[in-house]
Amino acid sequence: DAKTTQPNSMESNEEEPVHLPCNHSTISGTDYIHWYRQLPSQGPEYVIHGLTSNVNNRMASLAIAEDRKSSTLILHRATLRDAAVYYCILGTSYGKLTFGQGTILTVHP
């Protein structure tokens, strides 16, 4: 499975934008880029996914580099409830997700 690289941790202030980076230099042409997050003591929660074009939904935006070797999850206005571990995952048409260590996001009031 292709691997992703994320910073171990990031910090943000409440109501400020947060840009969470992810490198995936060995991505294949059929790999989707998925983002999930895990709040303390909960199961992971889907955030967003994309293939080539940038994507927006009610939770976040996903900016994908033109060469697809990196992507950025954008939280437009961080809230305290966004404090979580964010996982960037490459998913194939097969469905199995391979989770890395993720980025621990701390949001300060």
Return residues touching other proteins (CB under 8 A).
Answer: 32, 36, 42-46, 49, 87, 91-102
Residues 15 and 107: their CA atoms lie apart, in Å, by 9
CB nearer other proteins, residue 28 or residue 101: 101
Shortest CB 82 distance to other proteins, Å: 18
Residue 91 tokens read as: 């998913």
Residues 23 and 7: their CA atoms lie apart, in Å, by 10
CB nearer other proteins, residue 26 or residue 98: 98
CB nearer other proteins, residue 14 or residue 38: 38
Side chain identity at residue 108, one-letter code? H
